[in-house]
Amino acid sequence: MAKKSKKQQSGGTPATVALTAAGVAFTVHSYDHDPAHPSYGEEAAEAMGVSPDRVFKTLVADVDGTLTVAVVPVSGTLDLKALASAVGGKRATMADPTLAERTTGYVRGGISPLGQRKKLPTVLDDSSTDHPTICISAGRRGLEVELSPTDLANLTNAVLAPIGRG
């Protein structure tokens, strides 16, 4: 486990601050991030000893000109067509990484669906409800939060839809 930084001790990330303010039960998991690891999500699952089906990645896509957050298991990929359909759109593409970082206030590999600088429409893969808790980024590389998928959906006003491909 990595030591908590002063920033984390004094208030956490915007994601953990949002969870605390909402009074939602959550657990923080910290690990030493390896910049050489090929997948942020798979690294998190391995470091925490959690099934990749329970660790969800946060992706930012452009759906008909609107940035949209997709939260899918790290064990699969995002189905862009299903994402567009879930929000009533026609076409989705992955957002420019720099725009995603600037809009959310987080760095790639640490984007959380919670506590974003600008609240974006969010779609949570419906497989999340197969688990009592899931893990998502807490807002920086090497930091995850575990919470109920229902709480995540409620806090982000997420649409639940089958947007992940195994």
Determine the average pLDDT of the residues in 23-46.
90
User: Residue 92 pLDDT > 50, yes or no?
Assistant: yes
One-letter identity of residue 28: V
The mean pLDDT value of the chain amounts to 91
Determine the average pLDDT of the residues in 135-151.
96
Query: Which pLDDT score, from 0 to 100, does residue 70 have?
Result: 98
Q: Residue 8: which pLDDT band, with cuts at 50, 70 and 90?
A: very low
Query: Which pLDDT score, from 0 to 100, does residue 39 have?
Result: 86
Determine the average pLDDT of the residues in 34-38.
86
Which one has a higher pLDDT value, 98 or 8?
98
Query: Which pLDDT score, from 0 to 100, does residue 3 have?
Result: 35
Q: Residue 11: which pLDDT band, with cuts at 50, 70 and 90?
A: low
Query: Which pLDDT score, from 0 to 100, does residue 6 have?
Result: 33
Instruction: Spell out the long-range contacts of 150-156 with Cβ–Cβ below 8 A and sequence spacing 24 or more.
Output: 151/22, 151/24, 151/25, 151/26, 152/71, 152/113, 152/114, 152/124, 152/128, 153/124, 153/128, 155/18, 155/19, 155/22, 155/24, 155/114, 156/69, 156/113, 156/114, 156/122, 156/124
Q: Which two tokens stand for residue 59?
A: 């992706």
Which one has a higher pLDDT value, 143 or 3?
143
Q: Residue 40: which pLDDT band, with cuts at 50, 70 and 90?
A: confident
Segments in the chain forming alpha helices (H): 6-10, 14-22, 40-48, 80-86, 97-104, 149-156
User: Residue 1 pLDDT > 90, yes or no?
Assistant: no
